[in-house]
Amino acid sequence: MLSSVPSDGVVIVADLEAGIGTLTRLEDKSVDATVVVVEPTPRSMDVAARAIAVAGDRGQGRIIVAANKVADADDERRIRDAFPDQELLVIPADPVIEKADRQGLSPVDVDPASRAVSAIESLAKLLV
């Protein structure tokens, strides 16, 4: 699907299924940046490490690690230690995200000033 999109000035943000399968099927020229979302759990960090390796090997653009649901300094340290050479953006654990999900709303509509919304805005600015 993504390979059929024209590459002339088109911007697509795709939330792909968890894992690395989709990365292995993307055409190298079609990706300007890969955002790897990782949570501070061993399983998530393992999958993220494999995704980073595939994206790097295939030349799938700039790689940004989004450390998601970071509850405290220990969570952040674990992720930073696991990915020391990667560009990293921390998205804190934030009850606004859960509240928005339960209400079927966007977090920005629930609380545009929340810590997580601010971090996601920072991620968007990195990509523009």
Flag the least confident range among 15-19, 28-32, 69-73, 78-82. Answer: 15-19
Please say if the pLDDT value at position 80 is more than 90: yes
Ordered alpha helix ranges (H), 1-128: 21-25, 42-57, 73-82, 95-103, 107-110, 115-127
Cα separations (Å) of 21 from 17, 32, 95? 8, 18, 31
pLDDT for residue 60: 81
Residue range 52-65, pLDDT digits in tens: 998 888 888 899 99
Q: Which residues pair with 38 in a beta bridge?
A: 67
Model pTM above 0.85: no
**Gyration radius of the chain's alpha carbons:** 15
Q: How confident is the model at residue 22 (pLDDT cuts 50, 70, 90)?
A: low
